[in-house]
Structure 1
Amino acid sequence: MMRTRFTKLVGCRVPIMLAPMADVSGGSLAAAVLRGGGFAFIAAGHARDEDRTKLDAEVDIFRAEDNSGDSFGVGFIGHSSMKSDNMKRVEAILDRHKPLAAQFFAPAFAATGTNVKLCKDKNILVFAQVGSVEEAREALAYGVDCVIAQGREAGGHGLRSELGTGTLPLAARVVELTRELNPATIVLAAGGITDGRGLAAALSLGCDGIVLGTRLWATKEALGDSTGKKRDALLRAEGDDVVRTRTFDAIQNVDNPHFWPAPYDSVGALKNKTTESFHGKEEELIAKITGGDVAVLSSYREASKNCDITRTCVLAGEGVGGIKQLDGAEDVIKMVEEEAIAQIRRMNGMIT
């Protein structure tokens, strides 16, 4: 076993957590991660009615596939699920599924931290994902159980690039802050980590474990890619092919009833013709769309419908170059564990 404060807190064997990726982290993926020895979150997304229905189905799948009990977490997108009219939906989800932990992100807190109090009153662990030192300070002030330091190398949504911090410096600083302000809080590193070397690096910084997103999306159990085209693109990609951009949200927010607000309207994704045309020109793009230019919008909608990866969004973190084959999630967890142990032993041998 790789014993850390994280493995002790959630009762897993390996200090690896599955990120609650909306429309990706379902029951089968969560169960496979647990079989491998990690800890898993299932995504509740925006906590809309359709999200709750999907969550119910995925939790049923998880419980059918995992015999260890109910050791899982539920992840919420903060800006939508924690609106005053939606907080009751969050509470209903927690009451229905009774997860061990709840994660909140973008932002991690409702006004006056009511989401933290809600969870603590129900004896549910609170995981807060942050992208900056300022957000980390807020998390520690609210007394969360775990701070996830998400660097700008991450795939999916996060702070705009100019506001965020790289994974290693952010994680190192958050570790320092927890020791100073709230030593009981554990820290996980997220963003650009895909293998055991990344886990070893995070542990060497004082973190208690890591979060895997992109690496576990590129697995057989993950949801969200019925054609297989997006995951095939991940297997071919290098870190150089990834960009943190506002381009896709600038387009997708038009059709999204829970559009991503600033400063979280930014994703790590593979570069393609869409980013080639509009990255760094988002205000111009928004002006085109709101001004009645339907060509860009209709073209993107068609590309998304047909899963044309040369134009539609393929979320990916900068560690994507380390993913070369589509494995089962259980095998991924075990491989990362073995690589980390080998790396730590190698480093230990450097001391004379």
Structure 2
Amino acid sequence: MEENNNIKRLIQLYFGKRFSRSGRILFGRWLRAEDGMKEKTAALQNCWEESVTDVTEETLEDWDGLLRCLQPETVFQQTVLSFQRKLKYAAVIALMLLTGAATFFATDRLKPARHVEMAELFVPYGKSRQVILPDSSRVWVNAGSLLVYPKDFTDAETRTVYLTGEASFAVQKDKEKPFIVKTTYLAVQALGTLFTVVSYPGDSCTSAILEKGSIKVDVRSDEHQSEILKPNEQLIYSHTAHTVTVQPVDASLYRLKRSGYLIYENVPFSLLMSSLERRFNVTIHYNSQKYAGESYNVKFAPHETLEDVLNVLHQLVGIHYKIKENVVFIN
């Protein structure tokens, strides 16, 4: 049941335009994967039933073309859809076209030259997960994040994974196959190291933090030279200013974060609230202008509840709040 809810939420997030271009590409890979196909199909049908969309012969042609992209040829030839079923899913394709999904099927620059079976891990709000990759590298994936990776690195030249959200990586050494984490704006390469990448949709920046070893960080727009980070350094790329900043940081704090701590150092109120929304699976309403321009430093233990956190913020910042089910109102 939880897995079905995760699939529904991921598809709802997509149609709600919550993903960046890279996120849409990752969504496309996840949608094409065979795992959970029955549940994905049911969720897409539910999207159609809740929408009002006109279906034309041109839409049906788009549907047939999309099937050829989604499935291997042998599978497509064995798939026989009734005209009525085509109508239903063609409506979903129309929704995808309206939300820009056609771009990642037509221009997926991340698509490998050969077929690679991909696995995906979507972590909903209020959760965190650990996963062991095929090369025995360990990944801690934070709430509201999507990680897509090959099920087998054997024949690949690199060990490339794709991230939307936040994750920490403990990478196994393999000099012949560099380990690369790709996000919308950054490509982070490591040979054997421990680091964190933060790349949430909607955030104003993407960052990479190094705890051990060495990583090379490239801005994917090729506007900047590669940066080599040393332990206890953080690279921040601004999405709006297109600037790169490297600064010292206490990387040991990220070890505590993997243990469940919430740690904020010089973060704006908006990022603090976004993080709490992901951690506690709530929606927080507040006056963004009232708290603009201020930075906050605070730490919360793993056992502290949402109300504990808000009480601390009340004492430190002076906020007044009201909780109604899974919605928080801050005055």
Q: TM-score, normalised by structure 1?
A: 0.30
Q: Which has the higher helix share?
A: 1
Which structure has more RCO (C-alpha within 8 Å, separation ≥ 6)?
A: 1
Q: TM-score, normalised by structure 2?
A: 0.31
Which of the two has higher C-alpha Rg? 2
Q: Which has the higher strand share?
A: 2
